[in-house]
Chain A
Amino acid sequence: MGLLSDPNRRKALTSLLTRLNTPICVVCYLAGIAWFMGLAFEPFTLRTYMSENAMGSTMVEERFSSGERALSTAREFAAQKKKVGGMPVDWLVKTMQARGLEVFTQSFSRNLPFPDESKERFMVRGTNVYGILRAPRAPRTEALVLSAPCSPGNSNNQAVGLLLGLAQYFRSQIYWAKDIIFLVNDHDLIGMQAWLEGYHHTNITGMEYTPLQGRAGSIQAALSLELSSDVITSLDLVLEGLNGQLPNLDLVNLFHAFCQKLGILCTIQGKLQRSDWDTVEGYTHAAQTMMLMVLKQASGRPWGEHGLFLRYHIEAASIHGINSFRQYKTDTTTIGRLLEGMVRKLNNLLERLHQSYFFYLMPSLTRFVSIGYYMPAFGLLTAILLLRALDLWVQLGSPTAVMEDGVGDAEVQSSPGVLSLLTPVVISHLTGVALYTLPVLSQELAVQHFPVSETEAVVLTAIAIYTAGLALPHNTQRLISGEGTEQGWKVLKLVALLYLAVLLGCTALINFSLGFILAVTLVPAAACVTPHVPKALSAVAMVLLSPGCTVLYCIFLFQELQEAPVTLSEGWMLFLSVISQGVLDHALYGSLVYPLLSLLVYPCWLLFWNILFWK
């Protein structure tokens, strides 16, 4: 407590922090970035290990052998799908019943706020089919879910076939202690959302659905399967769920353990693991994998069918079969065995998966970075905001000579009125509210007056409001009575800095990647801005560091990392579709990234923009 009560030491520390403020901030920023990039370096990461006892020590034997039959079911399913021109509900019900499951259907409908151009849908209507295999060995209080989406076109037939094959095989086994639900969902995530809401009796997104007729116990874990070819070269594990939520690391370990056992190539973010971590290529590879994960997590959207389960406290992952040009192939029987093994181990669980980590980043499937290792990178960036705030606080205090010891001349300066402080805050938040509500509300109006489609109207309105917000400082100046004082902008900046620090801190706790990416661009802008820097140059810099541009950079980086680089115009088109997807994800699944950016981050950035043009 010496530091808090001894004025001499406090004085020394504060003067050190204010004198060396800029160098310390620069060092913090560089150290934060370096720390983050260092996370992908293998010696700094931890090896994954199975924490859950119930899944670790008990070995199970995989006996599933009817891969061929599953494939023929898949072909039959494909034929039926083509015949019906959508989900072959009757056929699925019949087939599942023939395999001895209790079968139920659920129909749902959902009107999108505006047409989704990438998936070409607007008024969605569909039916989910699910069959429950009742556990013979235990009271039916817990359940596992195996799901496969019924996708349009020719994809994912094998997943449904394998699902039905597994159902038949599982039915004849006696060791199940948890009910197993086999779910074929229509219209991918929308169907999944309807089913989950029906299962848990909630309605958070305004979906219309019929109530579920049959239920099993509380769902402990879920696996979603996507398989579009008879043989595959590798299996990819998709983890990122809604709002950047991740399943327990033990689920990843389980998948990896079985891939090892059965000799299946497994990847994460579509990247194989490399063993040469000490070379530049090895490090770059790991860094790319980790960055892909960070970008996907930051987007806040579910990257697989599993993504919506996580909201209900259900550990879930998607397994995606990839067929490339490699020689080494894996057949359906082996995938079936993998799933059998995983489901059996999950069946052995005595309690929910909770032993292992929930906050992690993965530079490869066997390595992970836990929250304790990655948070300092973010902490270093936020420290800059706090240091700048402290600096301003001392500056604000020094004319009245409060200094550290309180003794000095108490010449009271005219402090800026609350009103002149409140006006920019309120106006920028109102702009944020406009950015959040107007695009969807005004689409009809825009479509009537301009030659654009609804989707374009929404996106372009959003961009227009975003840009219009930049004209704000001039408007604010007129509203404030009198001139802004030197004190005025300092107080405003102090408030804005603390606001941003708290905002980013909360974001980073819920979704580290999003918080970190926003911090990387917003922190330098927030730290440097004053009214006394060259206007034009800093205005350009501020715009380049604004949240909207951050999204744009992320798109280019993501495409680069996925080894599918895009040109500027393609990138712009992607940017537009990402915005519309963001709005849709918010409306359909309750993703929080769009409201966060529009209601909080953007207004906060506008405050700094306002300071730049303070007169």
Chain B
Amino acid sequence: MAAPLTLVLILAVTIRAVLFRSSLAELISERVEVVSPLNAWKRVVEGLALLDLGVSPYSGDVFHETPLVIYLFHFVVDYADIVFMIVDGITAVALYLAVQDYNKNVFRKQKFALEAERYPHDCLELMRSPKEMHYIPLKVAMFYLLNPFTILSCVAKSTCGLNNAVVAIFILSTLKGSALLSAIFLALATYQSIYPLTLFAPGLLFLLQRLYIPVNPCRSSFWLFTVQYAVMFVGSLLVIVCLSFFLLGSWDFIPSVYGFILSVPDLTPNIGLFWYFFAEMFEHFRFFFICVFQINVFFYTIPLSVKLKEHPVFLIFMQIAIISIFKSYPTVGDMALYMAFLPVWNHLYRFLRNIFLVSCVLLACTALFPVLWHLWIYAGSANSNFYYAITLLFNVGQILLVSDYFYAYLRREHHLSQGLYLRRKDGSEATLVLK
């Protein structure tokens, strides 16, 4: 399996290298869909220049990267192209290994359940065969590396790729069962962009499950491990933040990075929901609605964790998707990370209901973004409403996609416990309706 993965990596690197050399790179790095004020390469360069001059990079209102990123690029700025390609490669390999591990677990569990005859008899066709599962890790790596969104994001040198890599390594270390590494990388991801904080819940749930600790608030072992994991997480977060402070010698970066993410002062159009809404809003409602919008990202963690406490990996997927939809400065690179997980849920395909509609919507929106941008900014004949309409549609499409997968997952689990052919009390065939 290593050979195909290497091939995919080589192909991905070739495509990126060609694009880096072509004149398209500059065009791509200007697109608002690909870069946001938070992760634009132009801003990193600006920050580096300020740093070289001995000025705090956060003194202007341009630079919003974390101090670790700027010190990373301080050393490798000349090899930025290669760094971004390597980072993408790391993400893909991490996802590959993680999914491989996950699939082994799933298969083992299914085997035990079959031996214990826990499934109803008509569910055999829902069972997953090793044959179909064999190529899934490779498909995941392919979906990440060859996804046009990832390629665009990498060619634009958006630092979103770095965040994706950190999250991917977090997933890998969690799935491998290393609580310490998992906490460290979760802290790193949180430090980079706050939102991965919501991944704390699935990470914890997975590790609990792995250690056979029941999720039960009455048990002391549950609390013991939770506190342990939380301490590791908070501890490493503190270490990283303090490290940044010592590197930089000031706390400037806190308002400049986290304040910037949370209070959304930059309303440059992007594919998210914030910019138009806050551009139109009266100033005195702003604070209230910022709270509402930001809570939106974090809030779904609670109901989803309750519902999916037995399935933490699916919960990770849901959380990443929700973050990439509702975060304040989303780019297509964020989408690419959760899209890479779609092959893992191949077996849910038969239960998906709107996949045709959703893929049409996402496809059409992707094509319409540049067109409407052109009409608005260059031709001047359309206006921001056109662009926002597409943004809205795009996000509705994504939400439909995610909720469709959610429904399909729950539905499969339901069938696995209740049997595939449901009967009403009077014996007629029943259908499941989600209302």
Spell out A's residues near B (CB within 8 Å): 2, 4-8, 10, 245-246, 310-311, 313, 352, 354, 358-359, 386, 389-390, 393, 400, 402, 404-407, 409-410, 498, 501-503, 505-506, 509-510
B351 with A406: CB separation less than 8 A: yes
Q: Is A393's CB under 8 angstroms from B381's CB?
A: no
Q: How far is the CB of A163 from chain B (nearest CB, A)?
A: 27
Q: In the complex the two chains form, is A510's CB within 8 Å of B363's CB?
A: no
B375-A510 in contact (CB<8A): yes
Tell me which residues across on chain B come within 8 A of A10, comparing CB atoms.
353
Partner of B431, one of A2, A310, A405: A405
Q: Known: A7-B432, A358-B382. Is A502-B364 also a contact (CB below 8 A)?
A: yes
Q: Interface extent on B, as a size class?
A: 20 to 34
Taking a contact as CB atoms closer than 8 A, the residue among B353, B363, B374 that contacts A404 in the complex is: B353
| Cα–Cα distance between A444 and B354 once the two chains are bound (Å) | 54
- Closest B residue to A408 by beta carbon equals B350
Contact A5 B353 (CB under 8 A): yes
**Cα distance, A245 to B375, chains bound together (Å):** 10
Q: In the complex, what distance in Å separates the CA atom of A390 from the CA atom of B378?
A: 35
| Smallest beta-carbon distance A493→chain B, Å | 14
Rounded to whole Å, the gap between the CB of A504 and the closest CB of chain B is 11
Q: Can you show 18 pairs from A to B with CB atoms below 8 A apart?
A: A2-B435, A4-B400, A7-B353, A7-B431, A310-B379, A313-B378, A313-B379, A352-B380, A354-B380, A358-B379, A358-B380, A358-B382, A386-B360, A402-B350, A406-B352, A406-B411, A407-B431, A409-B125
Residues on the A chain within 8 Å of B349, using CB: 402
**Of A5, A313, A498, which is within 8 A of B380 by CB?**
A313
Q: Which among B353, B367, B368, B411 is the interface contact of A4 at CB below 8 angstroms? A: B353
Smallest Cβ distance from A357 to chain B, in angstroms? 9
Interface positions of B from 394 to 435, Cβ below 8 Å from A:
400, 407-408, 411, 420-421, 431-435
Most buried by A among B356, B400, B433, B434: B356
Q: Is the CB of B379 within 8 A of A245?
A: yes
Question: Cα distance A87–B38 when bound, in Å?
Answer: 54
Residue of A nearest to B411 (CB): A406
Which residues of B are found within 8 Å of A358, using beta-carbon distances? 379-382
- Min CB gap B172→A, angstroms: 28
User: Beyond the given A5-B407, A354-B380, could you list 9 further A-B residue pairs with CB under 8 A, ordered by the A residue number?
Assistant: A4-B353, A7-B353, A8-B433, A10-B353, A313-B379, A389-B360, A393-B356, A509-B372, A509-B382
A487 to chain B, nearest CB (A): 16
Q: Chain B: residues with CB nearer than 8 A to chain A?
A: 125, 349-354, 356-357, 360, 363-364, 367-368, 371-372, 374-375, 378-382, 400, 407-408, 411, 420-421, 431-435
Whether A6 and B356, one on each chain, are in contact in the complex, defined by CB atoms closer than 8 angstroms, is no
Q: Tell which of B351, B368, B421, B435 touches A509, judged by Cβ atoms closer than 8 Å.
A: B368
Q: Which residues of B contact A498 (CB under 8 A)?
A: 360, 363
Minimal beta-carbon separation of B424 from chain A (angstroms): 13
B388 → chain A, closest Cβ, in Å?
A: 15
**CA distance in complex: A2, B421 (Å):** 23
Closest CB-CB distance, A432 to chain B, in whole Å? 17
Q: Looking at B349, B357, B380, B433, which has the most chain A CB atoms within 10 Å of its CB?
A: B380
Rounded to whole angstroms, the CA-CA distance of A292 and B381 in the bound complex is: 22
Chain B residues positioned under 8 Å from A245 (CB to CB):
379, 381
- Is B353 a contact of A509 with CB atoms below 8 Å? no
Closest chain B CB from A46 CB (angstroms)? 18
Q: Which residue of A lies closest to B379 (CB)?
A: A245
| Contact call B374/A510, Cβ cutoff below 8 A | yes
Provided the pairs A407-B420, A510-B374 are in contact, do residues A502 and B367 lie with their beta carbons within 8 angstroms? yes
The docked-state distance in angstroms from the alpha carbon of A389 to that of B382 is 29
Chain B residue with Cβ nearest A390: B356
Verify A510–B411 contact, CB threshold 8 A: no
With a CB–CB cut-off of 8 A, which chain B residues contact A400?
350
Residues of B close to A2: CB separation below 8 A? 435
**Bound CA span A469–B350, Å:** 39
Query: Within the assembled complex, what's the spacing in Å between the Cα atoms of A404 and B355?
Result: 11
> Which residues of chain B are near A410, meaning CB under 8 Å?
125, 350
Which chain B residues lie closer than 8 Å to A5 at the CB level? 353, 407, 433-435
Bound-state CA distance A313–B435 (Å) is 49
Name the one of B125, B353, B367, B379 contacting A506, with C-beta atoms under 8 angstroms: B367
Complex Cα distance, B433 from A7, in Å, reads 7
Most B CB contacts (10 A, CB to CB) among A5, A313, A400, A407 go to A407
B359: nearest residue on chain A (CB-CB)?
A: A498
Cα separation A2 to B375 with both chains bound (whole Å): 35
Q: Are B364 and A505 in contact (CB under 8 A)?
A: yes
Q: Provide the residues of chain A in CB contact with B400, threshold 8 Å.
A: 4
A380 to B364, CA, bound (A): 17
Q: Closest CB-CB distance, B410 to chain A, in whole Å?
A: 13
CB-CB nearest in chain A for B408 = A406
Give the nearest-CB partner of A400 in chain B: B350
**Alpha-carbon distance between A389 and B400 when the two chains are bound, in angstroms:** 20
Cα distance A450–B431 in the bound complex, in angstroms: 72
Q: For B360, what are the chain A residues with a Cβ–Cβ distance below 8 Å?
A: 386, 389, 498
Q: How far is the CB of B207 from chain A (nearest CB, A)?
A: 33
- B367 contacts A6, C-beta separation under 8 Å: no
A419 to chain B, nearest CB (A): 14
**Contact call A359/B431, Cβ cutoff below 8 A:** no
Q: Which residues of A contact B125 (CB under 8 A)?
A: 409-410
Task: Identify B433's interface contact among A6, A311, A354, A406, CB under 8 A.
Answer: A6
In angstroms, Cα B376 to Cα A509, docked, is: 11
B133 CB, min distance to chain A CBs, angstroms: 14
Nearest Cβ on chain A to B99's Cβ, whole angstroms: 20
Distance in Å: Cβ of A353 to nearest Cβ of chain B: 10
Cα-based distance from A525 to B24 in the complex (angstroms): 34
CA distance A402 to B348 in the complex (A): 11
Known contacts being A7-B353, A359-B381, A406-B350, is A506 close to B432, with CB within 8 Å?
A: no
Q: Quick check: A509 and B375 within 8 Å, CB to CB?
A: yes
Alpha-carbon separation in the docked complex, A352 to B364 (Å)? 32
B368 lies within 8 A of A506 (CB): yes
Name the distance in Å between A164's Cβ and chain B's nearest Cβ.
31
| Minimum CB–CB distance for A28 against chain B, Å | 17
State the CA gap A246–B407 with chains docked (Å).
47
Q: A4 to B401: give the CA distance in the assembly, Å.
A: 12
Residues of B within 8 A of A311 (CB): 378-379
Verify B354–A4 contact, CB threshold 8 A.
yes
A313-B378, A359-B381 known; A506 vs B356 contact (CB < 8 Å): no
**In the complex, what residue of chain B is closest to A397 when comparing beta carbons?**
B356
User: Considering the chains assembled together, what is the distance between the CA atoms of A311 and B375 in angstroms?
Assistant: 11
Bound CA–CA A299/B251 (angstroms): 59
Residue of B nearest to A494 (CB): B356
B268 → chain A closest CB, angstroms: 19
